[in-house]
Chain A
């Protein structure tokens, strides 16, 4: 993509994200009372992150097998409730070592 177009895309992203954050804070002072709508907004982040992670995590390292090993390590570390940084480092190290052995 050309740079000017990329800059335009980034500005469009920023604009949309800003408007979402800005409207309630400045204009809209009512509470949302619908339980369904509140629940929906509560679940969306988890569903989004999961949909963004799977299956793309399997292709994130340039090799499906090292990625699968990294994914498994991340899942285990996350189940043990490690911090974001620890989980990320464990997964990266696992991918790096697997890469040295497999490739």
Chain B
């Protein structure tokens, strides 16, 4: 008990800032790529910034961007966000049990906006509950890093010549490849999820009778079929799931 309290007391604002700094630096590059992508799709820089400051999620924002760029419906938009961001629901359940008593109801309402894969990974791995000061310190760098990177990427995308923006257009996708490949090598279930998800998405895109399906819906269909199949064939036991943030 004594030891646990000492550990908990070390989780102050400063420690939070320190833990959040590397996440913030990482977010700079990902959101830069997102900003460039938004600029290529014709979204004004202030709108990209607005999106990053209100959403704080990479895959969800790219999906939203795609729906906006293809003039999709609001229902398509909402459906993509629900499926793509459903994982935060699971993370939020785990985190709700790691907040100490210093969090009021209002602060829980506020803090839940900052649940991302990386913030989840670092907080879920803490051996004790933590207070709000630690959490506030933790989210500052990631939040502003995400916003700043988006702004810089969007401005760069507007200013740079086409030869450079074309090359930068692959950046965000390359990062997604970097996220999905290593766990696919390690874990059969993930490999099948990745191959099925990408495979079905390609099939829907290239087979003429399916080509009228909007992009956002196609991503949902592909991902849900792949994930349902994998959950059925490769169920994860309790302790294996969770505390390892990936995106």
Task: Report A's interface with B, CB cutoff 8 A.
Answer: 1, 3, 6-14, 16-18, 20-26, 28-32, 35-57, 60-63, 66-67, 70-71, 74-75, 77-79, 81-88, 90-93, 95-96, 99-100
**Nearest Cβ on chain A to B29's Cβ, whole angstroms:** 5
Shortest CB-to-CB span from B103 to chain A, Å, is: 9
Interface string of B97-114 (1 = CB under 8 A from A): 101000001001101110
A53 touches B54 (CB 8 A): no
Interface size on B, residues (CB 8 A): 108
Q: 4 closest A-B pairs (Cβ-Cβ)?
A: A47-B197, A78-B181, A91-B174, A54-B198
Are A78 and B182 within 8 A (Cβ)?
yes
**From residue B206, how far is it (CB to closest CB) to chain A in Å?**
7
Interface residue? B136 (CB, 8 A): no
Label chain A's interface by main secondary structure.
Answer: helix
Does chain A have a CB within 8 A of B125?
Answer: no
Q: Which chain A residues border B236 with CB–CB below 8 Å?
A: 35, 38-39, 42
For A31, what are the chain B residues with a Cβ–Cβ distance below 8 Å? 93
In the complex with contacts A24-B96, A78-B182, A57-B170 CB distance below 8 A: yes
Q: CA–CA, A34 to B73, complex, Å? A: 33
Looking at chain B's contact residues, the main secondary structure is: helix
B29-71: CB near A (< 8 Å → 1, else 0) gives: 1100100000000011001001100111101111110011001
Closest A residue to B29 by beta carbon equals A85
| Beta-carbon nearest neighbor of B247 in chain A | A45
Q: Are A39 and B111 in contact (CB under 8 A)?
A: no
Residue from the list B174, B175, B198, B235 in contact with A35, Cβ < 8 A: B235
Question: Are A88 and B178 closer than 8 Å at their CB atoms?
Answer: yes
Among the stretches B5-13, B82-90, B126-134, B138-146, the one at the interface with A is B82-90
Chain A residues within 8 Å of B222, by CB: 47, 51
Q: Are B169 and A61 closer than 8 Å at their CB atoms?
A: yes
Q: List 26 A-B contacts (CB under 8 A).
A: A10-B47, A12-B74, A13-B55, A14-B54, A20-B82, A22-B109, A31-B93, A35-B235, A35-B237, A37-B231, A40-B227, A41-B86, A41-B90, A49-B59, A49-B179, A49-B247, A51-B200, A51-B201, A51-B218, A53-B173, A61-B169, A62-B162, A78-B174, A84-B30, A92-B170, A96-B164
